[in-house]
C-alpha cells in the first residue's frame, strides 16, 4: 500500500479548473449585470432573467463541477492507497491543506450569498407583471394587452393567479416548468387553454379587495346601442342593476350577490368551459336543500372523478375580470357614443363590424386591410362623403385599428370568439346557463328568468339624449328596438343576438 502523500492540489484538476473558471465568470457577469440593473431606468424582464437566473446558474454549475472534481480525485486516490492533500479532517498544521480549505470556504461563502441574493431577486422578477407578460411575448401577448386595458391593470398578475401562501406558489412554479417546455418546443395550444380548473377560490383572491357583504343597493348604468342601418340609429337603455349583497341597514342578503352570500350553491358542468349546466344544488341557511335539473337530466355520478362539482363563486359570472376580449359591436357602440367614430358616416357601424369580424392571418395584415377596405368602401359607395368627411374617415380607421390591436390576436387565434364572457346574458348565455326558465326542482318550482329580478329599466328609447327617453323611476317594461311582437318574452336574447353583431 502506497502511503506517500500526493502533493498535487485537487484544485488543479482540469475539471476543477473548468468549474472554477465558470464560477468566477458567472460571478463577474452577475456583478456587472446587477450594477446595470440598479442604474437602469426601466424594468426589463430579459435583463432580470439573465441577471438573477442565468448568471447565478453559471456560478452554481461551476461550483458543482469543482466539487465533483474534488470527489473524483479523492475516490481515485483512496483506491490507490494514497493520501490526497484535501480531506475532511481538520489539520491546521498542514499549510497546503489550510490554503485549500480556505479557498473552499471562501467560495462556499460567496456562493451562499450569491444564491440568497439572486434567489430573492429572481423571486421578485418572476412575480413581476413585465416578466409574466413580456418574457414569452408571442404566447402571452393576448393576456398582457387585455390586462393593460382592464380595470385590474394595477393589480399584479400573481395576486390573482398565485395569491398568498407557499402551496399555490409551488404549484404555479411547477406548472410553469411545463409551460416553459411547451414554449421552447412550440407545442402550446392556440389559443392558450383557459385555466378555469386550477385557479384559486375567489374568496382567497377577489375578496381581498372586493367584499360582497359590503355591497348593497342598485347601480345605475346607461348604454347606447346603434343599429346597423345607414343612419346608425341610436337606442338608449338606462337601468338599475340590482347588485345587492349584504345590506348593513336591513341585515338582508339581496340582489345578484345573494348567490355568493346567502345559500351554498353548487353545480355540475358538462363541458370544460362550464357553459353547459344541467344540475344545480342550493343549500339554504336552514339546511333545506333544493336540486334543480334540466328536463331528462339524471343525477350526476359524483363517484366519477371526471364529474366537475363546483361551488359557485365570483368567477362563475366574472370570468373575464382582467382579460376581456371585447366583441367589436360593443366597442363600436362605445366609439360612436363618444364620437371617436362619427355617427354621421353612413353605415359606419355595419362596415366596421364587417371589417373587424373578418379573418386575418396576422395583425399587420389586419391593420393594413382595415384602412384599405374602409377607404375603398366610402370611395365606391359614398364618394361625396369620402371627399367631405376625410378627417372623420381617418379618425374612424384609427379607432377601428385600435380596437383590433387591443382585442384581436390572430397569430394566437385569440379573440372574443375564443373567450366567452359570462357577465350578463345579451350575446352569451351567461346568466341563462342556469336561469333559463327550464331548470326545475323537486317541488316543481323553476329557476326564475324574470328580467326584473336583477335589473329594472327606468328609461329607454331611440335617442342618445336621456332627457328625451320614455322614463319612469318605478320601472317600465322593456321595449325591443325592432317590432318583434313580444317574441323577446319567449326566447333568450342569445337566440337572436350574437357576439359578432349583437349589442
* Spatial CA neighbour of 195 closest among 145, 261, 140: 140
Indicate if 307 and 337 belong to the same structural domain.
no
Indicate if 121 and 179 belong to the same structural domain.
no
pTM given for the model: 0.77
Indicate if 112 and 51 belong to the same structural domain.
yes
The dihedral sign for the CA sequence 308, 313, 316, 320: negative
Q: What's the rounded Cα separation, in Å, for the pair 271 and 279?
A: 13
Q: What are 263-307's pLDDT values in tens digits?
A: 889 999 988 889 999 999 999 878 889 999 999 888 888 888 888
* Residue 388 belongs to a domain: yes
Domains contained in the chain, number: 4
* Residue 196 belongs to a domain: no
Cα radius of gyration (the chain): 32
Q: Dihedral (C-alpha) 366, 368, 369, 373: value to the nearest 10 degrees? A: 140
Give the mean model confidence (pLDDT) for residues 481-490.
84
Highest mean pLDDT of the ranges 19-28, 153-162, 401-410, 438-447: 401-410
Contact by Cβ (8 Å): 243, 215: yes
Indicate if 30 and 82 belong to the same structural domain.
yes
Q: Which of 247-251, 261-265, 382-386, 406-410 has the lowest mean pLDDT?
A: 247-251
Indicate if 287 and 337 belong to the same structural domain.
no
Contact by Cβ (8 Å): 457, 475: yes
DSSP notation for 109-169? HHHHHHHHHHHHHHHHHHTSHHHHHHTTHHHHHHHHHHHHTSTTTTS-HHHHHT-SSHHHH
Contact by Cβ (8 Å): 168, 161: no
Indicate if 304 and 345 belong to the same structural domain.
no
Give the mean model confidence (pLDDT) for residues 117-121.
71
Indicate if 120 and 22 belong to the same structural domain.
yes
Task: Evaluate if residue 84 carries a pLDDT over 60.
Answer: no
The number of angstroms, rounded, from the C-alpha of 470 to the middle of its chain's C-alpha atoms is: 40
* Residue 396 belongs to a domain: yes
Indicate if 220 and 308 belong to the same structural domain.
yes
β-partners of residue 224 are 236
Contact by Cβ (8 Å): 43, 90: no
Indicate if 393 and 245 belong to the same structural domain.
no
C-alpha cell at 404: 383590433
SS3 content of the chain, % helix, strand, coil (to 5): 45, 10, 40
Indicate if 264 and 387 belong to the same structural domain.
no
Indicate if 162 and 302 belong to the same structural domain.
no
Print the domain residue range for 397. 328-412
| Domain end marker among 83, 106, 126 | 126
Neighbours of 40 (CB within 10 A): 10
pLDDT (0 to 100) of residue 419: 92
Length of the chain measured in residues: 503
| Domain end marker among 126, 143, 160 | 126
Split at pLDDT 50, 70, 90, the class of 1 is: very low
Give the mean model confidence (pLDDT) for residues 417-423.
92
C-alpha cell at 468: 328625451
Amino acid at each position: 500500500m502506497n502511503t506517500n502523500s500526493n502533493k498535487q492540489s485537487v484544485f488543479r484538476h482540469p475539471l476543477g479548473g473548468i468549474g472554477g473558471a465558470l464560477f468566477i465568470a458567472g460571478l463577474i457577469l452577475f456583478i456587472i449585470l446587477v450594477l446595470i440593473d440598479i442604474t437602469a431606468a426601466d424594468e426589463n424582464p430579459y435583463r432580470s432573467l439573465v441577471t438573477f437566473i442565468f448568471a447565478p446558474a453559471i456560478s452554481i454549475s461551476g461550483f458543482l463541477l469543482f466539487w465533483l472534481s474534488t470527489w473524483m480525485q479523492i475516490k481515485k486516490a483512496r483506491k490507490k492507497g494514497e493520501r490526497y492533500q484535501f480531506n475532511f479532517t481538520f489539520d491546521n498544521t498542514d499549510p497546503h491543506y489550510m490554503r485549500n480549505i480556505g479557498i473552499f470556504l471562501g467560495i462556499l461563502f460567496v456562493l451562499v450569498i450569491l444564491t440568497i441574493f439572486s434567489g430573492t431577486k429572481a423571486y421578485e422578477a418572476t412575480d413581476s407583471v413585465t416578466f409574466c407578460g413580456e418574457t414569452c411575448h408571442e404566447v402571452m401577448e393576448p393576456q398582457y394587452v387585455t390586462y393593460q386595458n382592464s380595470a385590474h391593470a394595477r393589480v399584479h398578475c400573481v395576486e390573482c393567479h398565485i395569491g398568498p401562501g407557499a402551496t399555490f406558489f409551488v404549484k404555479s412554479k411547477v406548472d410553469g416548468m411545463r409551460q416553459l417546455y411547451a414554449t421552447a418546443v412550440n407545442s402550446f395550444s392556440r389559443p392558450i387553454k383557459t385555466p378555469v380548473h386550477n385557479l384559486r377560490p375567489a374568496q382567497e383572491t377577489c375578496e381581498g379587495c372586493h367584499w360582497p357583504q359590503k355591497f348593497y343597493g342598485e347601480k345605475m348604468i346607461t348604454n347606447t346601442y346603434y343599429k346597423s342601418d345607414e343612419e346608425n340609429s341610436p337606442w338608449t337603455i338606462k337601468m338599475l342593476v340590482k347588485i345587492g349583497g349584504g345590506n348593513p341597514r336591513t341585515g338582508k342578503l339581496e340582489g345578484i350577490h345573494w348567490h355568493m352570500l346567502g345559500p351554498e350553491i353548487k353545480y355540475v358542468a358538462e363541458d370544460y368551459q362550464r357553459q353547459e349546466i344541467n344540475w344545480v344544488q342550493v343549500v339554504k341557511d336552514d339546511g333545506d336543500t333544493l336540486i334543480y335539473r334540466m328536463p331528462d337530466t339524471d343525477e350526476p355520478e359524483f363517484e366519477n372523478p371526471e364529474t366537475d362539482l363546483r361551488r359557485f363563486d365570483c368567477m362563475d359570472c366574472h370570468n373575464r375580470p382582467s382579460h376581456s376580449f371585447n366583441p367589436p359591436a360593443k366597442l363600436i357602440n362605445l366609439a360612436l357614443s363618444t364620437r371617436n367614430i362619427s355617427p354621421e358616416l353612413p353605415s359606419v357601424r355595419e362596415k366596421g363590424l364587417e371589417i373587424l369580424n373578418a379573418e386575418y392571418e396576422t395583425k399587420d395584415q389586419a391593420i393594413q386591410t382595415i384602412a384599405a377596405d374602409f377607404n375603398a368602401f366610402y370611395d365606391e359607395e359614398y364618394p361625396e362623403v369620402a371627399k367631405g368627411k376625410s378627417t372623420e374617415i381617418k379618425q374612424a380607421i384609427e379607432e377601428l385599428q385600435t380596437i383590433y390591436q387591443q382585442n384581436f390576436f390572430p397569430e394566437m387565434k385569440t379573440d372574443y370568439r375564443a373567450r366567452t364572457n359570462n357577465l350578463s346574458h345579451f350575446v352569451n348565455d351567461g346568466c341563462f346557463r342556469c336561469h333559463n326558465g327550464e331548470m326545475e326542482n323537486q317541488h316543481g318550482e323553476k329557476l326564475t328568468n324574470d328580467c326584473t329580478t336583477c335589473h329594472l329599466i327606468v328609461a329607454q328609447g331611440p335617442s342618445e339624449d336621456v332627457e328625451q327617453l320614455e322614463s319612469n323611476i318605478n320601472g317600465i317594461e322593456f321595449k325591443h328596438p325592432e317590432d318583434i311582437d313580444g317574441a323577446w318574452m319567449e326566447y333568450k336574447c342569445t337566440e337572436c343576438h350574437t357576439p359578432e353583431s349583437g349589442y
